A and B are shown apart, each in its own frame.
Chain A
Amino acid sequence: MTRRAWPLLAPPLVWLGVFAFAPLVFVLLLAFAQRGRPFETEFSAAAWGRLLDPAWLTAFRRSAVLATATTAICLLCGAPLAVFIARRPPRLRRALYLAVVLPLWANSLALTYAWMFVLRPSGFLDQVAQGLGLLAPRDTFALLGTPGAVLVGTVYAYLPFMVYAVYTSAERLDWRLVDAAEDLGATRATALRRVVLPLLRPGLLAGSILVFVPVLGAFVVPDLLGGAKTAYLGNVLRDCFQHEPSDWPLGCVLSVVLLLLVAGALRLLARLGGGIDAIA
């Protein structure tokens, strides 16, 4: 690095140091503080012992299942959609792409409330189903407050990220390679498996990370669509800090563990995906 680059780099470095790195250090320090007195200098590892609390383990498992299911559904629906859009003529392509990412421009809280109105008893979904004769009058699917409703909410909220990531790869893909594969005796399925998927892999990986990581720590969608009783990792974490009696050290321990787990998962993905470049 040249000497002259330093003045330019100073602002971002200071910013990162103060607003990104320092809070991480605080979190790590607080993980060793005492419950109820987080800012005293006396250190304690007591919070780490509470890590095995079944409540937190249940929340973790629930969040892991939710994040995995959301990622899988987003992959299965988002990837074909992204490929479809990428292969349209330019003008249609732009319009379709816009339609997919449009929800990202709206307030996510408002959109989640909208889903409450759709899923609640006698809500939009029930009414449509009753109108079509799929549901008895005055009956309900009773979806609101179930894990299914949470899944619907997270898939809805994060699908655009998957489409965006895969679209970026699909747009750059030279589709004549599929012709070449078929010319060399590959059926459609073989061409997909041996040519298309490997070349889309960076986008599939990036999209999976963009969906999996935030859903793992999500709490707004679970709060609103999952009901008060089902706690996900994000809710547990938030409660550690917000609710009395608060438990900041445990919250920080959970954050650190979550960070390590995500880092580990990314490393694994990077290895599977042939280098960190595929993810970045």
Chain B
Amino acid sequence: MSAPAVELRSVSRSRGGRLVLDGVDLAVAAGEFLALLGPSGCGKTTTLRLVAGFDAPDAGAVLIDGRDVRGVPPYRRDVNTVFQDYALFPHLDVFANVAFGLETAAVPRAEIRTRVDEALALVRLEGLERRRPSQLSGGQQQRVAVARALVRRPSVLLLDEPLGALDLQLRRRMQEELRALQRRLGTTFVYVTHDQEEALGMADRVGVMDAGRIVQIGAPRDLYARPVSRFVAEFIGETNLLEGVVRAVDGERVAVDVDGVGAVVAEGAAAAGVRVALAVRPEHVVLADDGLPGVVDDVVWNGAGVRYRVRLAAGAALAVRDARGALGVGAAVHVRLPATDVRVLAG
């Protein structure tokens, strides 16, 4: 197996007495689209800056294509960055912005011409070569930033909240375009975002970061279905968090006495008598003819379906997603929590 395109080995970095990265281990395979997801201040941008070479780890090692890049300046690394808010050169036009990275590499003038044209065609910006960044829309600036970074044909492209400044509709379209671009070029993407929908929708794998650590990494579906912690469960998608005491253990399943709910069977490992947290997605709560009795006390319709809040007779309130949505406030219902969809969380 070939070396990972990017590898971090127990990397730590502190700034101003605060631990920004706390022993991060990460391996990104060549050609992979990896998203780093987390709230602001979790260390995801610092991770990117360490790979780009703008910052150096206090401990641990950063490897690019299998080589330790300690002491290698940014301009010698085979990675390029799409910066947050793009950082386009305001005094240069689109062509010169994209050509910049080729001129520094002393690429012959004729080749620069063709490669810039190719890069601009790639992001569908033909005809705007002579515009200044200030004369472009946000989406166009974003494309210039991508073209400028890709024109050097880096083995790894780092993207720092590249779509953060765009409105929702444009962001959706750019997500699709970037994803298609990545598949076509086969370039390794490391994509930093705080938008879970973006990370889940675009990436092959998502690393969830919190307080300088990668708390869970995996395919989007696995993260969604099997969050390891309360943080991941809450950060990715909507979730019902329940707490209770383990009453019995049976292999991979545990029976839990949940506060305000009653007896619930969940998947996961825990010792009997221990207090645990459980997570169940709103769309996995089943409205049925029997089960736990409750009353609908709120209905929110969002076009694709309905989200009820069901107040259980035992006291707890559950979010329940339902495609049909025929119930009104005050309707008496029964809900069931299928054991395969209820997860025991670590912390």
A242 to B149, CA, bound (A): 66
| A184 within 8 A of partner (CB) | yes
| Of A177, A180, A183, most B-chain CB atoms within 10 Å | A183
A253 to B314, CA, bound (A): 101
Q: Which residues of B contact A182 (CB under 8 A)?
A: 53-54, 73-75
Q: Which residues of A contact B89 (CB under 8 A)?
A: 177, 180-181, 195
A180 to B81, CA, bound (A): 8
Q: How far is the CB of A256 from chain B (nearest CB, A)?
A: 37
Q: Are B100 and A183 in contact (CB under 8 A)?
A: no
Report the stretch among A27-35, A115-123, A186-194, A212-220 that lies at the interface. Answer: A186-194
| B231 within 8 A of partner (CB) | no
| B218 within 8 A of partner (CB) | no
| A198 within 8 A of partner (CB) | yes
| B83 within 8 A of partner (CB) | yes
A186-B91 in contact given A176-B83, A179-B83, A180-B83 (Cβ < 8 Å):
no
Closest to B77 in A: A183
A185-B75 in contact given A180-B81, A190-B104, A194-B100 (Cβ < 8 Å):
yes
Give chain A interface residues in 126-179, CB to chain B under 8 Å: 174, 176-177, 179
Closest to B105 in A: A185
A244 to B52, CA, bound (A): 72
A184 to B83, CA, bound (A): 12
Q: Are B87 and A185 in contact (CB under 8 A)?
A: no
Q: Are A185 and B91 in contact (CB under 8 A)?
A: no
Q: Are B75 and A198 in contact (CB under 8 A)?
A: no
| B194 within 8 A of partner (CB) | no
Which residue of the partner chain, among B73, B81, B87, B149, contacts A177 with CB atoms under 8 Å?
B87
Q: Which residues of A contact B100 (CB under 8 A)?
A: 181, 184, 186, 194
Q: Which residues of A contact B213 (CB under 8 A)?
A: none
A185 to B153, CA, bound (A): 12
Q: Which residues of A contact B81 (CB under 8 A)?
A: 179-180, 183
Q: Which residues of A contact B152 (CB under 8 A)?
A: 184-185
Give chain B interface residues in 83-140, CB to chain A under 8 Å: 83, 87-91, 100-101, 104-105
Q: Are A199 and B52 in contact (CB under 8 A)?
A: no
B38-69 interface bits toward A, Cβ cutoff 8 Å, 1 = contact, 0 = none: 00000000000000111000000000000000
Q: Which residues of B contact A195 (CB under 8 A)?
A: 89, 91
A195 to B148, CA, bound (A): 15
| B80 within 8 A of partner (CB) | yes
Which residue of the partner chain, among B53, B90, B91, B104, contacts A184 with CB atoms under 8 Å?
B104
Chain B interface category by residue count: 20 to 34
A199 to B92, CA, bound (A): 10
Which residue of the partner chain, among A174, A179, A184, A198, contacts B54 with CB atoms under 8 Å?
A179
Q: Are B54 and A199 in contact (CB under 8 A)?
A: no
Q: How far is the CB of A272 from chain B (nearest CB, A)?
A: 15
Q: Are A179 and B87 in contact (CB under 8 A)?
A: yes
Q: How far is the CB of A192 from chain B (nearest CB, A)?
A: 13
Q: Are B87 and A174 in contact (CB under 8 A)?
A: yes
| Of A182, A184, A187, most B-chain CB atoms within 10 Å | A184
Q: Are B54 and A185 in contact (CB under 8 A)?
A: no
Q: How far is the CB of A88 from chain B (nearest CB, A)?
A: 15
Q: Which residues of A contact B88 (CB under 8 A)?
A: 180
Q: How far is the CB of B127 from chain A (nearest CB, A)?
A: 23
Q: Are A185 and B90 in contact (CB under 8 A)?
A: no
Q: Are A183 and B90 in contact (CB under 8 A)?
A: no
Q: Which residues of A contact B80 (CB under 8 A)?
A: 183-184
Q: Are A185 and B104 in contact (CB under 8 A)?
A: yes
A198-B91 in contact given A179-B74, A181-B100, A187-B75 (Cβ < 8 Å):
yes
Q: Are A180 and B87 in contact (CB under 8 A)?
A: yes
Closest to B74 in A: A182
Q: Which residues of A contact B83 (CB under 8 A)?
A: 176, 179-180, 183
Q: Are B148 and A184 in contact (CB under 8 A)?
A: yes
A183 to B83, CA, bound (A): 10
A45 to B73, CA, bound (A): 67
A199 to B88, CA, bound (A): 13
Can you pick out 26 interface pairs between chain A and chain B where the beta carbons lie within 8 Å of each other?
A177-B87, A179-B52, A179-B81, A179-B83, A180-B81, A180-B83, A180-B88, A180-B89, A181-B89, A181-B104, A183-B52, A183-B75, A183-B79, A183-B83, A184-B75, A185-B75, A185-B101, A185-B105, A186-B104, A187-B73, A187-B75, A187-B104, A190-B104, A194-B100, A198-B91, A199-B91
Interface residues of A (CB under 8 A from B): 174, 176-177, 179-187, 190, 194-195, 198-199
List the 8 shortest-distance A-B pairs measured between CB atoms, nearest first: A184-B101, A185-B104, A180-B87, A182-B74, A176-B87, A186-B104, A183-B81, A185-B75
Extra inter-chain contacts (10) besides given A179-B81, A186-B75, CB under 8 Å: A179-B74, A181-B89, A181-B100, A182-B75, A183-B54, A183-B79, A185-B101, A185-B152, A186-B100, A199-B90
Interface residues of B (CB under 8 A from A): 52-54, 73-75, 79-81, 83, 87-91, 100-101, 104-105, 148-149, 152
